[in-house]
Amino acid sequence: MTDSTNHSSDFLDAAPGVVVVIPFYNGSQFIERALCSVYAQSMPAAEVIVVNDGSRPEERDFLNTLCERYPFSVIDKENGGQGSARNAGAAASSAPYICFLDQDDFYLTHHIRTLVQAIPHDEPRFGFVYADLIEADGEGNVVASSAIQGRCAHPKTSVFEMLRADMYILPSAALISRAAFEAVDGFDTQFVGFEDDDLFLRIFHKGYTNHYVDQAVTVWCIHTDSTSFGMRMIRSRFNYFKKMAAMFPDEPWRNRYYLRDCLMPRFGRYFVDHVIEATKTGHASLFEMRAILSEYAAIVQASPNAGSKMRLRAIMALVRYSPPALIRTIGAFTRLPGVRALRRALG
């Protein structure tokens, strides 16, 4: 944790410029709450940009009404997902530091001030600073006063840690150096989910530093309309797995086995679970989920260092040839969705 007492009041008085970028997609029920939280900051942003990511015309019209009350800029673009919207907003701004805010989240009053205070002096490779969040439902009602503390190590010190588990760095609770953001070309727009982990891992891997503030600065609102749900997230998870497998090949001479020790334990059970659950429910995307599992299995089988190959082949045979009734029976027997025994076998 970076203590704000390490930073002088002169630095705060001459605080560097911060842009707040808010991706907007048919979010009229949330966006004013987000904007209000930005304009209520104890340390104001130098720029505020809302990126309309191909919303419906009536939703875009709603932004016009808000522009009459709040001095923010609007950028219009074709729908390309949250990552591309964030990139567009960052590219249209000039401030040396970037804060993002999802349309359905909102800042606490000292969000910008707290993160600016944690920027270290004289650190030419400063990458980002991030903090905790309050977890809430879609209406903003508090579910937990801390969303990330205790889930993993902070700040980030190892690629292994960042590959082995979700990183719990949320853009809505982070401040990023423009230099670091541009050095890695921003968000990878192929992802709709996992674009956050991908960005912060690449910034770390490029040699930029990160710092953690152990207090909540944002309210993170989770609801069923969030991008965390649905087939797009399943595809994005698999694409992220493939990108990381290619980016971090095994290094036996260093006793580093990224696929076996990091990626398989983290992702393998999900690819099996998706097929199991889709088979049980007759999901319309069952064929695609089976294709994802088959491709995952092929990657594992091709690795000379991956374990559990026999068990994975057995699982593949089960999900490929067993009738749905048998899959439902197995699921009921284990009393857990996804079949606990199969998940254990992949770990």
Calpha distance 36→171 (Å, rounded)? 18
Of 236, 336, 334, 337, which Cα lies nearest the Cα of 283? 337
pLDDT value of position 224: 61
Does a structural domain hold residue 235?
A: no
The burial of 141, by beta-carbon neighbours within 10 Å (0-12 exposed, 13-18 middle, 19 or more buried), is given as: exposed
210 and 273: one domain?
A: no
Of 92, 94, 95, 108, which Cα lies nearest the Cα of 50? 92
Does a structural domain hold residue 243?
A: no
Does a structural domain hold residue 67?
A: yes
197 and 271: one domain?
A: no
Collect all residues with Cβ–Cβ distance below 8 Å to 227 and sequence separation of at least 6: 82, 192, 193, 233
45 and 129: one domain?
A: yes
Does a structural domain hold residue 79?
A: yes
| CATH (domain of 206) | 3.90.550.10
9 and 149: one domain?
A: yes
Highest mean pLDDT (candidates 128-132, 151-155, 284-288): 128-132
Three-state DSSP class for 146? coil
The pLDDT of 108-133, averaged and rounded, is: 96
211 and 263: one domain?
A: no
208 and 293: one domain?
A: no
Asked if residue 271 has pLDDT above 70, the reply is yes
Handedness of CA 161, 347, 170, 178 (dihedral sign): positive
296 and 212: one domain?
A: no
What is the DSSP secondary-structure string of 200-244? HHHHHHTT-EEEEEEEEEEEEE--TTSTTSSHHHHHHHHHHHHHH
Asked if residue 172 has pLDDT above 50, the reply is yes
Does a structural domain hold residue 132?
A: yes
Domain endpoint, select from 173, 200, 221: 221
Q: Which two tokens stand for residue 162?
A: 């960042």
Q: Which two tokens stand for residue 125?
A: 């490779």
106 and 32: one domain?
A: yes
Collect all residues with Cβ–Cβ distance below 8 Å to 299 and sequence separation of at least 6: 242, 245, 259
Beta bridge partners of 132: 216
pLDDT value of position 297: 92
Beta bridge partners of 63: none
Does a structural domain hold residue 106?
A: yes
Asked if residue 236 has pLDDT above 60, the reply is yes
Does a structural domain hold residue 199?
A: yes
pLDDT value of position 135: 93
184 and 123: one domain?
A: yes
Asked if residue 4 has pLDDT above 80, the reply is no
User: Using an 8 Å Cβ cutoff, are 84 and 77 in contact?
Assistant: yes
Beta bridge partners of 134: 219
Calpha distance 4→214 (Å, rounded)? 11
The pLDDT of 127-141, averaged and rounded, is: 93
Domain that holds residue 31: 4-221
| 147 C-beta neighbours (distance < 10 Å), count | 20
Three-state DSSP class for 271? helix
Does a structural domain hold residue 149?
A: yes
pLDDT value of position 334: 53
Beta bridge partners of 48: 20
Query: Residues in the chain, how many?
Result: 347
Calpha distance 93→72 (Å, rounded)? 12
- Within 13 Å and on the Cβ side, how many CA atoms surround 192? 14
DSSP 8-state code for residue 260: I
Burial annotation 74-85 (CB, 10 A radius, 16+ → b, else e):
ebeeeebbbbbb
**Per-residue pLDDT band at 226 (split at 50, 70, 90):** low
164 and 274: one domain?
A: no
The pLDDT of 302-321, averaged and rounded, is: 80
Give the count of domains, the chain: 2
The larger pLDDT score, comparing residue 140 to residue 204, is at 204
268 and 309: one domain?
A: yes
The burial of 8, by beta-carbon neighbours within 10 Å (0-12 exposed, 13-18 middle, 19 or more buried), is given as: exposed
211 and 340: one domain?
A: no
Of 274, 278, 277, 345, which Cα lies nearest the Cα of 313? 345
